Structure 1
Amino acid sequence: MSMKIQLAEFSRLHFPRPPATPEQITAFEARVGWKLDADLRAFYLHSDGGTLFEEEPDASYRILPLAEIRRARVAIMGRDDDPYGAPSQYTVVDMQDTNYVILDVAQQAGGSYPLFDAWHETYPVAKRIASSFAEFLERAMASDGFSYWLDG
Protein backbone atom coordinates (compact mmCIF):
# COMPACT_ATOMS: atom_id res chain seq x y z
CA MET A 1 0.00 0.00 0.00
CA SER A 2 1.39 3.41 -0.90
CA MET A 3 2.28 5.89 1.82
CA LYS A 4 -0.34 8.30 0.43
CA ILE A 5 -3.09 5.69 0.92
CA GLN A 6 -1.76 4.80 4.38
CA LEU A 7 -1.82 8.44 5.45
CA ALA A 8 -5.41 8.81 4.26
CA GLU A 9 -6.35 5.69 6.24
CA PHE A 10 -4.47 7.00 9.28
CA SER A 11 -6.44 10.25 9.14
CA ARG A 12 -9.76 8.52 8.54
CA LEU A 13 -9.55 5.75 11.17
CA HIS A 14 -7.03 6.90 13.76
CA PHE A 15 -5.99 10.02 15.66
CA PRO A 16 -3.48 12.25 13.85
CA ARG A 17 -1.98 15.40 15.28
CA PRO A 18 -1.59 18.59 13.21
CA PRO A 19 1.22 18.32 10.66
CA ALA A 20 4.77 19.36 11.36
CA THR A 21 6.00 22.32 9.38
CA PRO A 22 9.04 22.10 7.11
CA GLU A 23 10.79 24.39 9.61
CA GLN A 24 10.04 21.97 12.48
CA ILE A 25 11.45 19.11 10.42
CA THR A 26 14.61 21.11 9.65
CA ALA A 27 15.02 21.95 13.36
CA PHE A 28 14.46 18.30 14.32
CA GLU A 29 17.07 17.08 11.82
CA ALA A 30 19.57 19.65 13.11
CA ARG A 31 18.90 18.54 16.71
CA VAL A 32 19.34 14.80 16.11
CA GLY A 33 21.99 14.97 13.37
CA TRP A 34 20.24 12.75 10.81
CA LYS A 35 17.61 13.22 8.10
CA LEU A 36 14.13 11.72 8.07
CA ASP A 37 13.76 9.13 5.33
CA ALA A 38 11.03 9.63 2.69
CA ASP A 39 8.35 7.66 4.61
CA LEU A 40 8.97 9.47 7.88
CA ARG A 41 9.12 12.87 6.15
CA ALA A 42 5.76 12.18 4.44
CA PHE A 43 4.24 11.04 7.73
CA TYR A 44 5.43 14.06 9.73
CA LEU A 45 4.38 16.53 7.05
CA HIS A 46 0.95 14.88 7.30
CA SER A 47 0.82 14.49 11.09
CA ASP A 48 3.32 15.34 13.81
CA GLY A 49 2.66 12.05 15.60
CA GLY A 50 -0.65 10.60 16.68
CA THR A 51 -2.23 7.45 18.00
CA LEU A 52 -3.68 4.31 16.49
CA PHE A 53 -7.04 2.81 17.49
CA GLU A 54 -7.60 4.92 20.64
CA GLU A 55 -6.93 8.45 21.76
CA GLU A 56 -4.46 9.27 24.50
CA PRO A 57 -4.00 8.29 27.25
CA ASP A 58 -5.36 4.81 26.39
CA ALA A 59 -3.62 4.26 23.05
CA SER A 60 -1.07 1.46 22.94
CA TYR A 61 0.41 2.80 19.68
CA ARG A 62 1.55 6.40 20.21
CA ILE A 63 3.61 7.67 17.31
CA LEU A 64 5.80 10.32 18.86
CA PRO A 65 5.81 13.94 17.72
CA LEU A 66 9.19 15.14 16.49
CA ALA A 67 9.81 17.04 19.74
CA GLU A 68 9.65 13.76 21.73
CA ILE A 69 11.90 11.57 19.57
CA ARG A 70 15.15 10.90 21.40
CA ARG A 71 17.89 8.33 21.67
CA ALA A 72 16.42 4.99 22.66
CA ARG A 73 19.02 4.39 25.33
CA VAL A 74 18.00 7.62 27.05
CA ALA A 75 14.26 6.90 26.81
CA ILE A 76 14.58 3.27 27.93
CA MET A 77 17.66 3.14 30.16
CA GLY A 78 17.91 6.75 31.29
CA ARG A 79 21.59 6.86 30.25
CA ASP A 80 23.32 8.26 27.17
CA ASP A 81 26.34 5.95 27.31
CA ASP A 82 27.36 3.19 24.86
CA PRO A 83 26.83 0.23 27.26
CA TYR A 84 23.13 1.23 27.36
CA GLY A 85 22.50 0.97 23.61
CA ALA A 86 23.64 2.23 20.24
CA PRO A 87 23.72 6.01 19.76
CA SER A 88 22.08 5.49 16.34
CA GLN A 89 18.81 4.14 17.74
CA TYR A 90 15.91 6.53 18.30
CA THR A 91 12.40 6.12 19.66
CA VAL A 92 9.56 6.61 17.20
CA VAL A 93 6.56 4.85 18.80
CA ASP A 94 5.75 4.69 22.50
CA MET A 95 3.86 1.46 23.16
CA GLN A 96 2.67 2.94 26.50
CA ASP A 97 4.08 0.09 28.60
CA THR A 98 7.69 1.33 28.92
CA ASN A 99 8.41 -0.34 25.57
CA TYR A 100 9.16 1.44 22.32
CA VAL A 101 9.41 0.87 18.62
CA ILE A 102 12.74 2.33 17.62
CA LEU A 103 14.57 3.00 14.38
CA ASP A 104 18.26 2.67 13.72
CA VAL A 105 19.74 5.40 11.54
CA ALA A 106 23.00 3.43 11.12
CA GLN A 107 21.21 0.60 9.31
CA GLN A 108 19.50 2.51 6.51
CA ALA A 109 18.87 0.27 3.49
CA GLY A 110 17.04 1.13 0.29
CA GLY A 111 16.50 4.65 1.59
CA SER A 112 14.60 3.51 4.71
CA TYR A 113 15.46 3.01 8.36
CA PRO A 114 14.53 -0.38 9.84
CA LEU A 115 12.32 -0.50 12.93
CA PHE A 116 12.79 -2.65 16.02
CA ASP A 117 10.82 -3.72 19.08
CA ALA A 118 12.74 -2.33 22.05
CA TRP A 119 11.42 -4.25 25.03
CA HIS A 120 12.72 -2.58 28.18
CA GLU A 121 13.63 -5.89 29.89
CA THR A 122 16.02 -6.93 27.11
CA TYR A 123 17.18 -3.62 25.62
CA PRO A 124 19.75 -2.94 24.12
CA VAL A 125 18.88 -6.22 22.38
CA ALA A 126 16.05 -5.33 19.98
CA LYS A 127 14.02 -7.43 17.53
CA ARG A 128 13.67 -6.16 13.94
CA ILE A 129 9.96 -5.81 13.12
CA ALA A 130 9.87 -3.78 9.88
CA SER A 131 12.23 -2.73 7.14
CA SER A 132 10.63 0.73 6.87
CA PHE A 133 8.20 3.06 8.59
CA ALA A 134 5.70 2.45 5.75
CA GLU A 135 5.80 -1.30 6.40
CA PHE A 136 5.44 -0.74 10.13
CA LEU A 137 2.50 1.65 9.74
CA GLU A 138 0.64 -0.66 7.37
CA ARG A 139 1.06 -3.68 9.64
CA ALA A 140 0.30 -1.71 12.80
CA MET A 141 -2.93 -0.25 11.37
CA ALA A 142 -4.03 -3.79 10.43
CA SER A 143 -3.20 -5.18 13.90
CA ASP A 144 -6.48 -4.38 15.68
CA GLY A 145 -4.46 -2.64 18.38
CA PHE A 146 -2.11 -5.52 19.19
CA SER A 147 1.67 -5.60 18.79
CA TYR A 148 1.67 -7.48 15.47
CA TRP A 149 5.21 -8.81 15.94
CA LEU A 150 4.45 -10.71 19.15
CA ASP A 151 3.42 -14.35 19.10
CA GLY A 152 -0.11 -15.11 20.26
Structure 2
Amino acid sequence: MRHLLDEISARHFPNAPATPAQLAAFELRTGWHLDADLREFYSWCDGATLFLPRPDENFRILPLAEIQRARIAMRGKDDDSMGSPAWWTLVYLGDSDYCLVDVAPEHADRYPILDAFHESYPRKVVRIAPRFADWLERTLRGNNQLWWLPG
Protein backbone atom coordinates (compact mmCIF):
# COMPACT_ATOMS: atom_id res chain seq x y z
CA MET A 1 0.00 0.00 0.00
CA ARG A 2 2.78 2.45 0.78
CA HIS A 3 3.87 2.90 -2.86
CA LEU A 4 0.22 3.48 -3.86
CA LEU A 5 -0.22 6.07 -1.13
CA ASP A 6 2.99 7.81 -2.18
CA GLU A 7 1.65 7.93 -5.73
CA ILE A 8 -1.65 9.41 -4.56
CA SER A 9 0.22 12.12 -2.68
CA ALA A 10 2.47 12.90 -5.65
CA ARG A 11 0.01 12.77 -8.55
CA HIS A 12 -3.55 12.97 -7.27
CA PHE A 13 -5.67 14.97 -4.81
CA PRO A 14 -5.66 13.48 -1.30
CA ASN A 15 -7.48 14.92 1.69
CA ALA A 16 -5.74 15.38 5.03
CA PRO A 17 -5.32 12.16 7.05
CA ALA A 18 -8.13 10.95 9.27
CA THR A 19 -7.29 11.28 12.95
CA PRO A 20 -7.40 8.29 15.31
CA ALA A 21 -10.56 9.82 16.79
CA GLN A 22 -12.19 9.99 13.33
CA LEU A 23 -11.26 6.36 12.64
CA ALA A 24 -12.77 5.28 15.97
CA ALA A 25 -15.91 7.38 15.44
CA PHE A 26 -16.38 5.88 11.97
CA GLU A 27 -16.15 2.32 13.28
CA LEU A 28 -18.57 3.12 16.09
CA ARG A 29 -21.05 4.75 13.65
CA THR A 30 -20.95 1.94 11.08
CA GLY A 31 -20.52 -1.06 13.38
CA TRP A 32 -17.65 -2.54 11.36
CA HIS A 33 -13.87 -2.26 11.54
CA LEU A 34 -11.68 -1.02 8.73
CA ASP A 35 -9.52 -3.80 7.30
CA ALA A 36 -5.75 -3.29 7.06
CA ASP A 37 -5.85 -1.72 3.57
CA LEU A 38 -8.59 0.75 4.42
CA ARG A 39 -7.08 1.65 7.80
CA GLU A 40 -3.75 2.41 6.15
CA PHE A 41 -5.43 4.45 3.41
CA TYR A 42 -7.56 6.53 5.78
CA SER A 43 -4.65 7.06 8.15
CA TRP A 44 -2.76 8.48 5.13
CA CYS A 45 -5.65 10.51 3.70
CA ASP A 46 -9.33 10.81 4.56
CA GLY A 47 -10.44 10.26 0.98
CA ALA A 48 -8.95 11.37 -2.31
CA THR A 49 -9.88 12.44 -5.80
CA LEU A 50 -7.96 10.56 -8.47
CA PHE A 51 -6.64 11.88 -11.80
CA LEU A 52 -8.72 15.08 -12.05
CA PRO A 53 -9.77 17.52 -9.33
CA ARG A 54 -13.41 17.97 -8.39
CA PRO A 55 -15.84 18.49 -10.04
CA ASP A 56 -14.36 16.76 -13.11
CA GLU A 57 -13.25 13.54 -11.42
CA ASN A 58 -14.27 9.99 -12.33
CA PHE A 59 -13.00 8.55 -9.04
CA ARG A 60 -13.62 10.10 -5.62
CA ILE A 61 -12.68 7.86 -2.72
CA LEU A 62 -15.09 9.05 -0.08
CA PRO A 63 -13.99 10.55 3.23
CA LEU A 64 -15.07 8.54 6.25
CA ALA A 65 -17.91 10.95 7.04
CA GLU A 66 -19.53 10.31 3.63
CA ILE A 67 -19.43 6.50 3.65
CA GLN A 68 -22.89 5.04 4.14
CA ARG A 69 -24.87 1.90 3.46
CA ALA A 70 -25.16 1.51 -0.29
CA ARG A 71 -28.89 0.90 -0.15
CA ILE A 72 -29.39 4.27 1.54
CA ALA A 73 -27.10 6.13 -0.88
CA MET A 74 -28.48 4.44 -3.97
CA ARG A 75 -32.12 3.78 -3.09
CA GLY A 76 -32.82 6.02 -0.10
CA LYS A 77 -34.14 3.15 1.99
CA ASP A 78 -32.45 1.03 4.67
CA ASP A 79 -34.36 -2.12 3.84
CA ASP A 80 -33.12 -5.62 2.88
CA SER A 81 -35.02 -5.43 -0.40
CA MET A 82 -32.65 -2.59 -1.36
CA GLY A 83 -29.42 -4.59 -1.07
CA SER A 84 -27.21 -6.21 1.51
CA PRO A 85 -26.65 -4.39 4.80
CA ALA A 86 -22.96 -5.33 4.39
CA TRP A 87 -22.49 -3.18 1.25
CA TRP A 88 -21.17 0.32 1.93
CA THR A 89 -20.26 3.13 -0.46
CA LEU A 90 -16.53 3.67 -0.84
CA VAL A 91 -15.84 5.35 -4.20
CA TYR A 92 -18.16 7.76 -5.96
CA LEU A 93 -17.95 7.32 -9.73
CA GLY A 94 -20.36 10.06 -10.72
CA ASP A 95 -23.97 9.85 -11.88
CA SER A 96 -25.02 7.96 -8.71
CA ASP A 97 -22.67 5.03 -9.40
CA TYR A 98 -20.34 3.64 -6.75
CA CYS A 99 -17.69 1.11 -5.97
CA LEU A 100 -18.77 -0.57 -2.75
CA VAL A 101 -16.95 -2.35 0.01
CA ASP A 102 -18.49 -5.64 1.18
CA VAL A 103 -18.00 -5.88 4.95
CA ALA A 104 -19.82 -9.20 5.45
CA PRO A 105 -18.26 -11.16 8.32
CA GLU A 106 -16.74 -13.78 6.00
CA HIS A 107 -14.53 -11.02 4.54
CA ALA A 108 -13.37 -9.53 7.86
CA ASP A 109 -9.64 -9.59 7.09
CA ARG A 110 -9.84 -8.14 3.53
CA TYR A 111 -13.04 -6.65 2.17
CA PRO A 112 -13.80 -7.15 -1.53
CA ILE A 113 -14.71 -4.23 -3.77
CA LEU A 114 -17.92 -4.31 -5.83
CA ASP A 115 -19.22 -2.33 -8.78
CA ALA A 116 -22.72 -0.91 -8.28
CA PHE A 117 -24.36 0.69 -11.32
CA HIS A 118 -27.32 2.78 -10.19
CA GLU A 119 -29.71 1.47 -12.85
CA SER A 120 -29.22 -2.21 -11.99
CA TYR A 121 -28.59 -1.92 -8.24
CA PRO A 122 -29.26 -4.08 -6.19
CA ARG A 123 -30.11 -6.79 -8.75
CA LYS A 124 -26.65 -6.76 -10.29
CA VAL A 125 -23.63 -6.02 -8.11
CA VAL A 126 -20.32 -7.38 -9.39
CA ARG A 127 -17.17 -8.19 -7.42
CA ILE A 128 -14.29 -6.43 -9.20
CA ALA A 129 -11.38 -6.75 -6.75
CA PRO A 130 -10.60 -9.03 -3.80
CA ARG A 131 -9.48 -6.10 -1.63
CA PHE A 132 -9.01 -2.34 -1.68
CA ALA A 133 -5.25 -2.42 -2.43
CA ASP A 134 -5.88 -4.45 -5.59
CA TRP A 135 -8.67 -2.09 -6.69
CA LEU A 136 -6.46 0.95 -6.04
CA GLU A 137 -3.49 -0.52 -7.94
CA ARG A 138 -5.62 -1.32 -11.01
CA THR A 139 -7.37 2.05 -10.85
CA LEU A 140 -4.12 4.02 -10.66
CA ARG A 141 -2.81 2.07 -13.68
CA GLY A 142 -6.14 2.38 -15.50
CA ASN A 143 -5.59 5.84 -17.00
CA ASN A 144 -8.76 7.34 -15.46
CA GLN A 145 -10.94 4.59 -16.96
CA LEU A 146 -13.43 2.24 -15.32
CA TRP A 147 -11.11 -0.69 -16.02
CA TRP A 148 -13.59 -3.39 -14.96
CA LEU A 149 -16.15 -2.48 -17.62
CA PRO A 150 -16.06 -4.19 -21.01
CA GLY A 151 -14.80 -2.15 -23.96
Residue matched to 1:65: 63
Partner Cα separation in structure 2 for residue 36 and residue 147 of structure 1:
24
1:137 and 1:5 map into 2 onto residues whose CA distance is 11
Instruction: State the AA in 2 paired with 1:151.
Output: P
Greater CA deviation, 40-49 or 109-118? 109-118
How far apart, CA to CA, are the structure 1 residues paired with 2:84 and 2:128? 17
Contact map agreement 1:108 1:114 (CA 8 A) in 2: no
Counterpart-to-counterpart distance in 2, 1:96 and 1:120: 10
**C-alpha RMSD of matched pairs (Å):** 1.0
Partner residue of 1:127? 126
Per the normalisation by structure 1, the TM-score is 0.96
1:33 corresponds in structure 2 to 31
Aligned pairs (5 A) from 1:66-81: 66-81=64-79
Residues 144 and 108 (structure 1), Cα distance of their counterparts in 2 relative to 1, 3 Å cut: farther
Provide Cα deviations, 1:34-84, integer angstroms capped at 9, x if missing partner. Answer: 000000000000000011100111101000000000000000111111100
> Per the alignment, do residues 57 and 84 of structure 1 end up closer, same or farther by CA in structure 2, a change over 3 Å counting?
same
Which residues of structure 2 form unaligned runs of 5+?
none
Q: Distance in 2 between matches of 1:93 and 1:107?
A: 21
CA contact (8 A) 2:115 2:126 kept: yes
Gaps of at least 5 residues in structure 1 are none
Total equivalences in the alignment = 150
